[in-house]
Structure 1
């Protein structure tokens, strides 16, 4: 697994060679095998694709080679985050989406890209994560609807699914500090902001070392 670089780099403005923004109603993948590929965005109330520069920053933090990674995009929506991970070599990407129309749209995008490593499951993200008992995910991507205030529940449901060195990405309408992350049982590795979007890269806290000094 890649090791993310040192903490708290600022979000940089797009450079001159940055991929141009997609037109309204579509998103453009910005890295990997499908770089510059365009995907239509469903006309759906409240749908909010992760901005290009946020995706660019996240995958600069994680590294551009995710070969062998197992990834969960738990509130997939447009699938932008999950498809970016697949584009960078992830071995398996699971897109969870509760809405039937959006799930169909995601499946269509998989077909369009030939993304055989991506699987779409129509399910409630919190319920699905609560039922899963295997800690085998290298990356969990969380971008829940901002108005639903699911941040705490989503992080607590996702953390047990990570491998010991796995990463958790959280996108929110507010910033969560180190104390908030510690209360979840994880550490804040990096965070940034783009407009009204706050984004965080977290990692599970190491369990305390056993104390062998007692009687």
Structure 2
């Protein structure tokens, strides 16, 4: 059964200010490939909500293609859930969505139910607070935090420190282009690095020396 856990409060993916938020959905995301290819899902009308573009998403999942099937994924600062839903569509075994705002978390829950995706779980919680707990290792992690909030370095540190990453885990980071590179654990190796407009995005792999 798809579960929605209510706890304290993750931040949605945010960028430039937009119109005042309301309870109704506004806009859509599209699943590019997999069993739900072409499906469109509603997105909450929330200030600054910034789903990953189809162009960037397609590039990312081309990178992840050899690894996505049967993977366990964590979608931090989930927002629209675009990356987590795409992962499930392409054969991920599980995706956990972390989202702070209740109305956005509720729409993520509704979208999982619409897809009958019982291998997706929504946690209504602050992503950084969640990561301060002892972790259960994930094979793929999506990190697309609110822009201009300086959250990346702490997020990456907590992932490593509290054992949220499996050995060989893949970590996707999306950030504003002008932002200086975040502090990253030494065990993270850069695999891919691209820029699209004002967005910079990278794929890292966690390598642990034996």
Structure 2: any 5+ residue segments left out of the alignment? Answer: 1-25
Distance change in 2, residues 1:43/1:202 (3 Å): same
Kept in 2: contact 1:186–1:203 (CA 8 A): yes
> Which residue of 1 is the match for residue 15 of structure 2?
none
Residues 80-117 of structure 1 show CA distances to partners (whole Å, capped at 9, x for unaligned) of: 00000000111110000011110001001111111111
* Residues 176 and 149 of structure 1: CA distance in aligned 2, closer, same or farther (over 3 Å): closer
Aligned partners of 2:152 and 2:182 also within 8 Å: no
Q: Distance in 2 between matches of 1:174 and 1:205?
A: 26
For 2:38 and 2:97, the matched residues in 1 are separated by 21
- For residues 63-84 of structure 1, the C-alpha deviation after alignment (integer angstroms, 9 at most, x for no partner) is 1662221100011000000000
Q: Which residue of 2 aligns with 1:12?
A: none
Shift of 1:180: 5.7
Unmatched 5+ stretches in structure 1: 1-23, 210-215
Determine which structure has greater relative contact order: mean sequence separation of CA pairs < 8 Å that are 6+ residues apart, divided by chain length: 2
Tell me if 1:155 matches 2:137: no
User: SS in structure 1 opposite 2:87?
Assistant: helix
Question: Higher helix share goes to which structure?
Answer: 1
TM-score (norm 1): 0.79
Q: Contact 1:186–1:202 (CA<8 Å) still a contact in 2?
A: yes
> 2: distance between equivalents of 1:182 and 1:148?
17
Q: Deviations over 1:160-189 (max 9, x none)?
A: 311111100000003789x86665541111
Checking the alignment, whether the CA contact within 8 Å between 2:170 and 2:206 is kept in structure 1 is yes
Does the 8 Å CA contact 1:175/1:199 hold for their aligned counterparts?
Answer: no
Structure 1 ranges of 4+ moved more than 6 A: none
Task: Report which of the two has the higher share of strand.
Answer: 2
Q: Which residue of 1 aligns with 2:91?
A: 89
Larger radius of gyration: 1
Hey, what's the Cα distance between the residues in 2 that align with 1:80 and 1:140?
A: 13
Partner of 1:27: 29
Q: TM-score, normalised by structure 2?
A: 0.81
| Counterpart in the other structure of 1:119 | 121
Count of aligned positions: 183
